[in-house]
Structure formats: structure tokens, C-alpha cells
Structure 1
Amino acid sequence: MSFEQCQNVTSLMAKFNKNWFIAGGWAIDLFMGKETREHKDIEIAIFRKDQLNLKAYLIEWEFKKVIKSEFHNWGNEFLELPIHEIHATNKLNGDKIEVLLNEAKDNDWEFRRDLRISLPLNSMWSYSDMGIPYLNPEIVLL
């Protein structure tokens, strides 16, 4: 039960002063408390409103936005729906993370594909025994 990739991201994000969460398959494994399979990548989720804060925080990283399954350089524009996926590469060591932008309105998380589907923000994430924040399975599997 090493969760080394998750611990590395937790160290990377330690001083980021906005909410962030492990997403994707790693989130499911954190929920289950064990690594169930090999993971080739790692995803984190942040709130859309915090995207430029993340870019400023990861100053040594190169960012690409994904539009219709194609990668494009991301300048400093604020990304709106339907764009929800960003790929970041550390220019110094080649580390990579995928960032998923999540919608929030008032005190609710909203599903980007159907904004009528929502969940109270305080029900959106949990923490692993190691203190790693992760999206709850109902969000990841939606």
C-alpha cells in the first residue's frame, strides 16, 4: 500500500492554498485503501475558479488544454466549459499530471455534462488514512 504517486502529488501540492483532490483510478484506490491495479498516470481535480492559481503555483510546468481530444498550448486565458482537462509537464524533471476542472456554484459541486446534477461540496471529497484528499467514488464514476 505505497501510493507513491499520490504521496508525490501531495508533496507537490502541499503549499497550494486552494482545494485539490486526487481523481480518477487513484481516487478509487485511495477510497478502497489499497492499490488495485497499476496506474500509468495520475489525475487531480481542482475547482475551475482556481485554475490560474494552479498555473501560477506550478511555475516550472508547461500546460496544455485539451479541446476535442487535441492538445493545445494554454496561455493565461480563463478556461470555460466545455474545456475541463489540462495536462501539465514539469519542465525540470518531466513529471506529468492531468488536471480536471470541476464546477462549483454556491455550496454545490455540479456535474460538467449536466449542471442539474449536483452534490453539496462537503460531500464531494474525503481523505485517505495518509491524509491525501480524493474525490469520492460517486464523483469519479459519474
Structure 2
Amino acid sequence: MFTGADCMWFIAGGWAIDLFIGRQTRPHGDTDVLVLRRDQHAVQEHLAGWEFFAADPPGTLRPWQAGETLYQGVHDIWCRRRGSSSWQLQLMFDESDGEDLISRRDHRVRMPLAHARRTSPAGIPYLAPEIQLFYKASAPREKDQQDFQTALPLLAADQRAWLAQALSLVCPDHDWILPLTS
């Protein structure tokens, strides 16, 4: 669906964890795609046959009009093919500064885009698992905890260190820090 898009994109959410692991580990309700905020118009143009609804904080859905620039507080866009009543895709906007990905949750948390974007053996770009787990850690649900437990043994030392440092910065008492540093 994103082949040929004139922007950088990443599979995100639980599918990103599964792409890292190399297999599907649990059911997924939708597909999350992370896009840099600076590329929001390119995505709108690429998915011209779709309807977009911005989740304005604190969570009100409203149509995202063609050519409208969404402000920094809007991170989630619900998408469906024109004429469909079911949601099929969730776009998530993240911030960037030059060649760095900047967390939308805390601008002190960053990673070079070259490291943030991984590619599966099938050629599918996905968000680095340590970044995805950082997002899942903010208010972990059962599926987020499962994703953490499944990915933890496969994280390299530098991935564990990055995630532990990011969590320590924004949530120093987080339950995941100890397993990451043990």
C-alpha cells in the first residue's frame, strides 16, 4: 500500500514487534504506520482513495481535509478506504529534526532515522523495537506487556540500553527498566 510513497514510513505497533521477531505472535486489530509529521501531505496524496480522520486531543475524531496541516498535538489519524465503514489503517505522526526521529511523547528521546528504521527480510520497513516498546510503555496494556516479554530476549545490548535510558528519562520507576538492565 505504501510502495512508491514519496516519504519515509515504518510499520509500527504490534506488527513492528512481530516483524522484529520474525513471526506473528498475537492477533492484531489493525495496521499502524508511523510517518514523519513533515511528510503528512505526501501520505495524503499517496492514499488519495482514502478518508482520513484526525484524533484531536483528547480523542475526538474529525475529518482531516486534503491539504490541511495538522498541528503537533495531533498524532493519530484513522483511515479507511472511501466508501468503507471500517477502519483499516492508523497513521501515527512522529516528529523529526534533520536526520533524527524525535519522540512525540518527550522531545528529549531521539534516535537517528537510520537506526530507527529497520527492514524485515521481506523488505518491509518497521520501527525499531526499542522505540516501539518505548511507546507501548507509557500505559502498558496486556498486549503491550506481552510484546515486551516476547521481544526482550531478542533485544541486543544496545537496544536494551537505549530503551532503559529512554524509560529512565521519562518514567524512572517503570517496571520494564529492571528486566532491561539485568
Q: TM-score category by the smaller chain? A: 0.7 to 0.9
Contact 2:78 2:87 in 1 (8 A): no
Residue 101 of structure 2 is aligned to residue 109 of structure 1: yes
Aligned-partner residue type, residue 72 of structure 2: L
Following superposition, the deviation at residue 17 of structure 1 comes to 2.0
| Distance in 2 between residues matched to 1:21 and 1:118, nearest whole Å | 16
| Distance in 2 between residues matched to 1:138 and 1:35, nearest whole Å | 18
Q: Sequence identity of aligned pairs in percent? A: 36
| Aligned-pair Cα RMSD in Å | 1.3
Larger Cα-atom Rg: 2
Aligned-partner residue type, residue 110 of structure 2: S
More displaced stretch, 102-111 vs 87-96: 87-96
**Alignment coverage as a number of residue pairs:** 131
Following superposition, the deviation at residue 18 of structure 1 comes to 1.1
| Distance in 1 between residues matched to 2:59 and 2:87, nearest whole Å | 21
Please identify runs of 4+ aligned residues in structure 1 that moved more than 2 A. 92-95
Normalized per residue, which structure has more helix? 2
Residue 33 of structure 2 is aligned to residue 41 of structure 1: no
Following superposition, the deviation at residue 95 of structure 1 comes to 6.3
Structure 1 residues 27, 70: closer, same or farther in 2, change over 3 A?
A: same
Higher relative contact order (CA 8 A, sep 6+): 1
TM-score, structure 2 normalization: 0.69
Contact 1:16 1:54 in 2 (8 A): yes
Q: How does 1:34-73 map to 2 (within 5 A)?
A: 34-67=23-56, 68-73=58-63
Specify every segment of 5 or more residues in structure 2 that has no aligned partner in the other structure, as ranges.
135-182
Normalized per residue, which structure has more strand? 1
For each residue in 1:82-130, what CA deviation from the matched residue of structure 2 results, as whole angstroms up to 9, or x when unmatched? 1111011111566610000011102211111211111111110111111
Q: How does 1:55-134 map to 2 (within 5 A)?
A: 55-67=44-56, 68-75=58-65, 76-91=67-82, 96-134=88-126
Specify every segment of 5 or more residues in structure 1 that has no aligned partner in the other structure, as ranges.
1-11
Query: What SS does the corresponding residue of 2:3 show, helix, strand or coil?
Result: coil
TM-score, structure 1 normalization: 0.87
Aligned-partner residue type, residue 71 of structure 1: L
Structure 1 residues 83, 95: closer, same or farther in 2, change over 3 A?
A: closer
Following superposition, the deviation at residue 52 of structure 1 comes to 0.9
